Structure 1
Amino acid sequence: MADGKPTLHHLENSQSHVILWLLEELGIEYNLVLYPRVKGRSPAALHEVHPLGKSPTLVTPSGRVITERTAISLWLINTYDKEGRFKLPLPPPTSSSSSSSSSSEDDAIREEQLISLGGSTLGPDLFLKLMTTLLVKHAPFFVRPLVAAVRFALNRAFLDAELANVVGYLETQLAPPDGKGGEVREWFLGTKEPTRVDFSLMWYLDWAYQWKWVDFERYPNLKAFHDRCTARPAWKRALEKGNGYQLVFWN
């Protein structure tokens, strides 16, 4: 659409909701193309936008097609966040004799570390949880008890402990930086508004929340973070404009 607006190709019940939320936070004009799932999968029409046929997919005003949620959020924030609300704060002035490892560099590294943690560690754990759950549900009835036993053993031997380890680590990342009883961080980088880290991690945490794979009562910092995200007006507007955000639709 050559109208000077980005276009989000949005699939129902998917991580594309996070990009829709970000667009609403930015307060910009955009085009929204909604796609329903077909038998739980992406429709063929999405393959006409990009060969992968995935969502979210964003088409920029210049016609560039961007896939992957974290890449889209990076482009949107760099392009439209003129006031820097959702960016890392600018580094303080330093003299030439100061250490080469500034706090801003630490924050940038920490930003990438937390985003990578979601995609390379937490996400695969949740996906394996999903696949084993669906495998039991769709297994022939005569082998279902055996498949369920395998899932139980996998959860007890590996997945539950691994998930608790990662979620427990994220809980500490919202704790007071000095560890001396200060204020809990509202956002992962200690900013006043959510950054790309928060938009990224909220997808994984909400996935776990909706499937009840994590008891968030045991993680008060993360529960408060989740509640804070879902209470934002932009989150609610995204729910109204999208075509569904129910992540247990496969169940």
Structure 2
Amino acid sequence: MNTIHHLGHSQSERILWLCEELGIPYALKRYTRDAVTRLSPPELKALHPLGAAPLIEDGDLLLAESAAIVEYLIAVHGGGRLKPGPGHPDFAPFLYWFHFANGNLQPVMLRRMTLGRALPADHPVLTATQERLDKVLALVEERLGQAPYFAGDDFSAADIMSIFSLTTMRLFLPIDLTPYPNIRAYLERIGERPAYRAAMAKGDPELTPLLV
């Protein structure tokens, strides 16, 4: 059985959710952020040099990085489910949006959060970063007006990769989603998934998912 090392309010929620969607059994070890620094506790640093979550243990394997873990679990334990193959018409959109989550969406949100704490509101670098975030969110809004899920008609791992930034990350960088009706409708659809609700209840039982 896989062991998931989960840091509360972090991208490791993706791994719990994936396992719930695929019915992959797992043992859960929860960790809490430092109340002052909001960083990982020493127990996670003892497992991995970066002290980050998620981490999974599968036999002798210790694997970090949420995208790598998602791909590993789908390939090794999930029978390839939630990932369209090369012959599927949604294959290229899946690849794009799967990598968009950690390649564009999450980085620009982190950059906006960090610069917002370090620079005055009228600083040109902060302004440029906000403009980039607005463009990224507009692209997500456009996509979710074209299809019910990121890859297309079917729910996939691209959705599992994307949701953290649109929900839990807003604990760190509040964003008003009122101008984005397609994103809000999408989050409502995700919130109806039993596997998502189960994963969040197990991993972050004190948190009400930010689905609005």
Deviations 1:72-108 (A, max 9, x none): 11111112223x54121572xxxxxxxxxxxx4x743
User: 2: distance between equivalents of 1:111 and 1:64?
Assistant: 27
User: 1: distance between equivalents of 2:116 and 2:202?
Assistant: 30
2:191 matched to which residue of 1? Answer: 230
- Structure-to-structure mapping, 1:113-192, within 5 angstroms: 113-135=96-118, 147=119, 150-154=120-124, 157-176=127-146, 185-192=147-154
Which runs of 5 or more structure 1 residues have no equivalent in the other structure? 92-103, 136-146, 177-184
User: 2: distance between equivalents of 1:111 and 1:162?
Assistant: 22
Q: Secondary structure at the match of 1:74?
A: helix
Q: Secondary structure at the match of 1:58?
A: strand
1:140 matched to which residue of 2? Answer: none
Structure 1 contact 12–244 (Cα < 8 Å) conserved:
no
1:65 equivalenced with 2:62 (yes/no): yes
1:217 equivalenced with 2:178 (yes/no): yes
- Percent identity of paired positions between Structure 1 and Structure 2: 29
State the 1:245 CA deviation: 6.7
2:202 matched to which residue of 1? Answer: 241
1:197 matched to which residue of 2? Answer: 158
2:95 matched to which residue of 1? Answer: 112
Aligned-partner residue type, residue 41 of structure 2: P
Count matched residues: 206
Q: Secondary structure at the match of 1:241?
A: helix
User: 2: distance between equivalents of 1:22 and 1:210?
Assistant: 22
State the 1:224 CA deviation: 1.4
Structure 2 contact 9–168 (Cα < 8 Å) conserved:
no
TM-score (norm. length: structure 2): 0.84
Which runs of 5 or more structure 2 residues have no equivalent in the other structure? none
Aligned-partner residue type, residue 189 of structure 1: A
Q: CA RMSD in A?
A: 2.5
Distance 1:120 1:90, change over 3 A: closer
Larger radius of gyration: 1
Q: Secondary structure at the match of 1:218?
A: coil
Aligned-partner residue type, residue 171 of structure 1: E
- Structure-to-structure mapping, 1:92-107, within 5 angstroms: 104=88, 107=90
Deviations 1:10-50 (A, max 9, x none): 11111111211111111221111111122321111112222
- Equivalent position to 1:22, from 13, 18, 21: 18
